[in-house]
Amino acid sequence: MADKNSLSSINSPYKRTEAETDPRAVSISMLKGGVGKSTIAVNLARQLAAHGHSVLFIDLDPNGHASVGLGFGEQYHNTDEDVGDVFFNEADPASVIYDTGYEFDILPSSEELEQVEREIVIGDVFQPSALLKREVVTPLLGEEYDYIVTDSPAYRSRLTDNALVATTNLMLPLAPGNEAMSGLERTIERQIAPLRKHLDVDVLALVPNMLSSRIDQQTQDRQLLERLNSHDNLQDRIPNFARITDWDAVDTGESELVPGIRDRTSITKAYGEQKPLLDYDPDCDQLVCFEELAHIVEAGRVIRHE
C-alpha cells in the first residue's frame, strides 16, 4: 500500500557535510519511462564538462538509448567486453570507457545488460548492489573524474540499486500528467527508502520536464508545478527555473517566469543528431535549465537566489 506520507521521507535522515568542491556522483532516476531521464543525464554530464570538470557518464539502462543517442551503438552491440565484465571483475573499467567527443567520457550500456542483471540476481555475488561502486565509482571518482553521472532503467532493478549505491545522490525528473506524483511516490517508497536503511541517499533536485502548456490556467503542467512548489518537503529541491511562489502574479500576468524544462524540438532533434543540446543548438533557451542542474551537482544542493 502506498504510504500517504511517503513524500516526507524524501529528506535524508543524515546530516551532510561535504564541501562544495567535493567530487560527486549523481543518478538520474524515476520509476517511469519517457520522463526525460536519459535526456537530463546526458545534458547534465555535458554542462558539467563545459565547466571544465572531468566527467564520466555511465549508461546502466539495458535499452541503451543514451549510448546509442551519443553514437555508441556499435559498443552497445559489441558484448565481447562490456560493463558486465567490469562488474564481474573480468575487465578493467578503462577498457570500456570512451571519449564522447563532447568533453566527457562514456561507459556505454550493453545489449546484454539484462542478462548481466539476471546473473547478479541469481549468482553468488558478494554485495550485489555494490558492484558499480566497487569496480568503477570508488576507483575513478576523485581520481580520474570530478563528476560521475548515471542513467538507469525505469523499473526497479539491481542495476538501479547499483547506480544509487554508487552515487548516493539523485535527481528525479517528472513530466506533467496524472501519474507524475504517483511515480515520485513509487520511486521514494520502492527505490530510495529501502536503501536508506543502509546508506545516505540524498535527493538533490526534482526536475519538471516537458512542460508545454500554459500555467495561468488549470493544466497538468500547472498542477505538477503547484504540487511540487507547495509541498514542505519538496520545495527546497525545486530548481530556480521551476520555482514559483506567487501564483497570483502568474494569474494576473505580472510574473515573467516561464518555468522549465520546457518541451523543445531541438531537445528531441539533438538526440537524432547524436549530440548533446549544447552542441546541437547552443542558442536553445532551455540550456539554462541544464546549466542550473550542473550548478546543483557542483554545490550538492539547490542554491536559492530569490
Ligand X SMILES: Nc1ncnc2c1ncn2[C@@H]1O[C@H](COP(=O)(O)OP(=O)(O)O)[C@@H](O)[C@H]1O
| Contacts of 184 by beta carbon, 8 Å cutoff, 6+ apart | 7, 30, 172, 174, 206
- Considering only 24, 26, 37, 183, the residue that binds ligand X (CB under 6 A) is 37
Q: Does 37 bind Mg ion (CB under 5 A)?
A: yes
Site string for Mg ion, 219-238 (x = CB under 5 A): --------------------
Residues 44/97, Cβ–Cβ less than 8 Å: no
Based on CB atoms, which residue is closest to Mg ion, 44 or 244?
44
Helix (H, G, I), strand (E, B) or coil at 175: coil
Residue type, 213: S
What is the helix (H) or strand (E) element at residue 203, kind and residue range? strand 202-208
What is the number of the residue whose Cβ is closest to Mg ion?
A: 38
Grid coordinates belonging to 229: 512548489
Q: Nearest approach, Cβ of 142 to Mg ion (angstroms)? A: 27
Candidate segments 131-139, 177-185, 233-241, 267-275, binder of ligand X by CB under 6 A? 267-275
Site string for ligand X, 101-120 (x = CB under 6 A): --------------------
Q: Does 36 bind ligand X (CB under 6 A)?
A: yes
Label residue 35 exposed, middle or buried (CB < 10 Å: 0-12, 13-18, 19+): buried
Q: Does 267 bind ligand X (CB under 6 A)?
A: yes
Angle at 292 between CA 190 and CA 238, to 5 degrees: 45
Residues 111/62, Cβ–Cβ less than 8 Å: yes
- Considering only 25, 26, 35, 140, the residue that binds ligand X (CB under 6 A) is 35
Query: Which residues, numbered 183-242, are part of the site for ligand X (CB under 6 A)?
Result: 209-210
Footprint of ligand X (CB under 6 A): 33-39, 65, 154, 209-210, 261, 263-264, 267-268, 271
Footprint of Mg ion (CB under 5 A): 37-38, 65
